[in-house]
Amino acid sequence: MATKAELESASRHYHHYLVAAKTAIQAGNIFAAIQNSVASLSSIDGMMQFERKSNQREFNLIETIELILTYSPVIFDSESLDRLADVLKSQKRIDKNASADIAKNLKTARQQLNNSYQLWLHLLQFPNHTIEAAMENVGAPKEWLTWLVQYWEMQGYARRIELTGKTHVQVMLPQDEIVSAKCPGCGVVGNGKKWQFWNTNTCPKCKHQVVFVMIKKQ
C-alpha cells in the first residue's frame, strides 16, 4: 500500500505533465501534448487516491486522458490509445473512480481513429471530390469530421481549395516543413523540420532533454 508521501509525489508528477500538455496544446504541438499526457498515466491512480483522501475530490474525467482521447485520432496515434488501454486494464480504479465512462470513450476514440484514416485516404484517392462527398463516404458524425478537417488545417495537414464554387480539401504531409520551436526550460528558440520537434531533444543551450514547443506562426 502506497504511503501518503508516495501518493503526494504521484499527484505532483501528474500535474507537472498536465501543465506541460496544456502548454503544448496552446502552442499547437499536439504531439508533445500527447507525449506528456501518456507520461502522466503512471501517476494517475496515485494522484486520484491522494486528492480523494486529502481534498475529498471527486473525479468526472481525467484531463490528460481526455487529451489522449481527443487528439490521438487526429494524428493516427494508435500507440497512445493502446498505452491508455493497458493502464486502464492494470489499474482498474482509474475508470471506477471517475464518473466518466473512460472505457467507452476509449472505444469511441478508436472508432474516430478509423474514421480519420478513412477520410484521409479518401481525400488522397479522390482529390476531385468535394469535402461534403468525402465526409458522406466516411459515415461518421459530420460535426466531428468538420472539427477534424479544421484541426488538420491548423496543423498544416490540409488546406481548402475552392473549385467552381465548391469546397475541396487537399491533404498534405507537412513533416518536412521548417518551423521554429522553443525550449520550455531556458527559452532558446531553434529552427528545424517539424518532425524533428515531435520527440525529445537535447537543448543546445541548457543541455536538458526536453520536448521543444513549436511556436505558432503570426
Q: Are 195 and 155 in contact (CB under 8 A)?
A: no
Q: Are 113 and 148 in contact (CB under 8 A)?
A: no
Residue 182 is part of which domain span? 175-214
Specify the 3-state DSSP secondary structure of 172. coil
Tally of CB atoms within 10 A around 145: 22
Q: Is the pTM of this model over 0.85?
A: no
Per-residue tens of pLDDT for the chain, all 218 residues: 678 899 899 999 999 999 999 999 988 888 899 999 999 999 999 998 888 888 777 777 899 999 999 999 998 889 999 999 999 999 998 888 887 889 999 999 999 999 998 998 888 888 888 888 889 989 889 999 999 999 888 877 888 888 777 888 888 765 556 778 888 889 999 988 766 776 678 999 999 988 787 775 54
Cell matching residue 88: 486502464
Domain count, the chain: 2
Instruction: Indicate if 20 and 98 belong to the same structural domain.
Output: yes
Cell matching residue 198: 515531435
Q: What is the pLDDT of residue 218?
A: 47
Instruction: Indicate if 94 and 199 belong to the same structural domain.
Output: no
Instruction: Indicate if 161 and 208 belong to the same structural domain.
Output: no
Q: What is the pLDDT of residue 173?
A: 62
In Å, what is the CA distance from 143 to each residue of 122, 139, 163?
18, 11, 23
Instruction: Indicate if 209 and 110 belong to the same structural domain.
Output: no
Amino acid occupying residue 26: Q
Q: What is the pLDDT of residue 108?
A: 95
